[in-house]
Structure 1
Amino acid sequence: MSEWILLALAPVFLAFVALEAWYWRGRRAVYSWRDTLSNASLALMHQGADALAGVAVIAVYAWVHRYRLFDLPASAWTIAALFVAQDFFYYLFHRASHRIRWLWASHVVHHSSERLNLSTAFRQSLTYPISGMWLFWLPLAWIGFDPKHVVAVVAINLAFQFFVHTEAVGRLGWLENVFNTPSHHRVHHARNAQYIDRNFAGVLIVWDRLFGTYVEEDPAVPCEYGIVKPIRTHNPIRLTFHEWADMLRDAVRPQPWRARLGQLFGPPERAHSQAPAAPDGAGRVG
């Protein structure tokens, strides 16, 4: 599964984290030990959960692939098509993760830090297999792409995204028109009103431009990172489960069944507006 590819790249990632930390030393407090250790703990928990779930997920992909629409033998053309198709489905997953509270309960972990540096890319949730991230790539197996190739391309996409979690790189000229860049991703992690829920790209920014979710970084509006209702903890267990606990508590309150479903599957900000205010709410959009 993808975790093995990402683990193989771990020395590269760690080297770039060390280089970035050295770059900022004495300039700005971009890194803190507590935040970085929290990110590392969340990464290890995430990788462990992915390893456990991976066997079941690849089995489901293989079963779906048996009923594929087309036979797509591996070639430069089919791998290129898979790369573009996977990136499109990543965009759909990422956008849904900000607009559906059930998915946001996992994804909020990644946005909960008020810092942005390369180690923030490690800040992931172990609950992604539960919230259903893997479902978004099932259509690729049904179309006819080999499940092993699907998993490999997902890993490559995620590896690329490691490098956009930084403030050390400015705008990159014409590349900004085609690819996700650090500038685009700084916007995505910002909680400023004009930046919230924008720039969902994995590798290609063209999906945001096509579907109206693109916003350019404004030098006059510095990015403020984190979630609208911050959670003041570095405890990886609380970071992982706080929104799940809030969501399930809101869903079991006495209310019509439509309202219960809204708490689980409605937009995060709408669900929170229907519930009593919590001291550490996790809504991305407020």
Structure 2
Amino acid sequence: MEQYAQVLNIAMPIFLLMILIEQFFEWKLGRKVSNNLDTVSSISSGITNVIKDVLGLTVSILSYKWLVDRVAIFEIENVWMVYVITFVAIDFKGYWQHRWEHKINILWNRHVIHHSSEEFNLACGLRQTISTVFSYFAFLLAPAAIVGVPVEVIATVAPLHLFLQFWYHTRLIGNMGILEHIIVTPSHHRVHHAVNKEYMDKNLGQIFIIWDKMFGTFQKEMPEVPCVYGISRPARTWNPIKINFQHFWVLLRDAFYARSWWDKLRIWFMPTGWRPEDVKEKFPIDSIQDPYTYQKYGQKSTKGFQRWAWAQLLFNYFLLIYLFAFIQDVGFTGALIYGGFVVLSVYSYTELMDRNPIALYLETFKSLIGLGLIFYMGSWFGATENLGFWYTAVVGCYMILSAGMTAFFTVKGTEPAAVGVKV
């Protein structure tokens, strides 16, 4: 837990810097590739994901350690070649896991958050799941287990493999020549994130594009078919926590109301998007019929409102840095409370971004909890001892300010919601 938290405290600033660099070139080149509220939503999703991962809130049905202990034929030496084998094995696993997440109803809920942005930029690469309760894909690492790749090597390479999937979420890099035949490039991944029928469920590779070419899921980006981004059943919210569970809620509701017991069972394992006919009639769901005329989710907002959304995001990132830096001092129970507070904060300010009046009550509740924690512990999770009283004072002032600003924007600080903007 502590080691991964320290790695994230190095990686997260790099990701944020890259997002800012992309936005600089967006401005410099005069190419619109981002939306302020969408970007805040994307980075907020990343915040909730890293909290879940650091706290280890996923149950492994089958662990790699269990697998390697039982199927290893020999133990490979811990030399440079083992890292190459491990990287390829993880990428092979990633391709098939990714493919099944696109094709099976219940597994799509693990992945839908990543595709939910109607933009395509580096920020949307941070949209990662918190809905994964169980992990059961370790069996796909059998090739590595058979040759005895140590657990420690898997644990070292896996985060690197994940981080290397960030850079290609951009519209500002065109064709990359010979690399288009070897690795996943921005062009390949633009296709993957598109809702155009020509592009759906294509280019599922994570680092190497060779898997798509081997298994028939490759599609080249076509100039005459411009990519339109998002999901076929639009999320229509900036709240990443809601997005994580929208699809699951549809499955649960449909299974409950379906008349056929067979439908109640098979809905979970049918192709993504399949619904029983009787519940489709009873609970119709809007979906994108024509991606070229679809209206993106977007609402009018003042510059001040957008700046406040950024301020909320950055302050919660400020809180997260402290948690990861001093997680050993905070302890597991304290980290659960701390992480829960940040997730509540994300839920609250993204509800405000959606113009939901409940945001005021949530923000007031959150601020009271924050002030209560400071009063109960005498400081903000030991911040006075670790950094000085200033940190606790800043956090306390934030609690009061956030409730006040939310009240201001709820009452009169935003324009009426708009339907959206045309793609």
State the TM-score, normalizing by the size of structure 2: 0.61
Shift of 1:105: 0.7
Unaligned ranges ≥5, structure 1: none
Structure 1: distance between partners of 2:157 and 2:143: 11
Shift of 1:236: 2.0
Does the 8 Å CA contact 2:205/2:211 hold for their aligned counterparts? yes
Shift of 1:273: 6.2
The answer to whether 1:210 aligns with 2:193 is: no
Query: Whose relative contact order is higher, 1 or 2, with alpha carbons under 8 Å and at least 6 apart?
Result: 1
Give the CA RMSD over aligned residues.
2.5
Report the equivalent of 1:244. 248
* Residue 193 to residue 185, structure 1, CA distance change in 2 (3 Å): same
Match for 2:21: what amino acid?
L
Structure 1: distance between partners of 2:115 and 2:239: 15
Which of residues 95, 104, 122 in structure 2 aligns to 1:91? 95
Tell me the alpha carbon deviations over residues 180-207 of structure 1, each in whole angstroms, 9 at most, x when there is no partner: 0000000000000100000001100000
Deviates more, 1:43-52 or 1:174-183: 43-52
Deviates more, 1:53-62 or 1:73-82: 53-62
Report the equivalent of 1:158. 162
* Residue 43 to residue 100, structure 1, CA distance change in 2 (3 Å): same
Q: Identity over aligned residues, as a percent? A: 35
Match for 1:43: what amino acid?
G
Match for 2:185: what amino acid?
T
The answer to whether 1:124 aligns with 2:128 is: yes
The answer to whether 1:265 aligns with 2:275 is: no
Deviates more, 1:29-38 or 1:196-205: 29-38
Counterparts of 1:34-113 in structure 2, within 5 Å, are 34-53=37-56, 57=60, 60-70=63-73, 71-113=75-117
Tell me the alpha carbon deviations over residues 75-132 of structure 1, each in whole angstroms, 9 at most, x when there is no partner: 22222111111111100011011001111012011101100000111011111243x3
* Residue 141 to residue 55, structure 1, CA distance change in 2 (3 Å): farther
Counterparts of 1:144-155 in structure 2, within 5 Å, are 144-155=148-159
Shift of 1:52: 2.4
* Residue 207 to residue 6, structure 1, CA distance change in 2 (3 Å): farther
Structure possessing the higher radius of gyration over alpha carbons: 2
Report the equivalent of 1:253. 257
Q: Secondary structure at the match of 1:93?
A: helix
Counterparts of 1:182-221 in structure 2, within 5 Å, are 182-221=186-225
Structure 2: distance between partners of 1:31 and 1:281: 23
Match for 2:20: what amino acid?
A
Structure 2: distance between partners of 1:266 and 1:150: 32
Structure 2: distance between partners of 1:170 and 1:82: 30
Structure 1: distance between partners of 2:217 and 2:254: 29
Q: Secondary structure at the match of 1:17?
A: helix
Structure 1: distance between partners of 2:55 and 2:137: 13
* Residue 118 to residue 145, structure 1, CA distance change in 2 (3 Å): same
Does the 8 Å CA contact 1:93/1:136 hold for their aligned counterparts? no
- Which aligned runs of 4 or more in structure 1 are off by greater than 6 angstroms? none
Structure 1: distance between partners of 2:171 and 2:41: 20
Structure 1: distance between partners of 2:117 and 2:123: 11
Tell me the alpha carbon deviations over residues 16-60 of structure 1, each in whole angstroms, 9 at most, x when there is no partner: 100001111272332222111111111111111112226864993
Which of residues 271, 279, 285 in structure 1 aligns to 2:285? 279
Shift of 1:155: 1.4
Deviates more, 1:104-113 or 1:262-271: 262-271
Structure 2: distance between partners of 1:253 and 1:141: 44
Report the equivalent of 1:13. 15
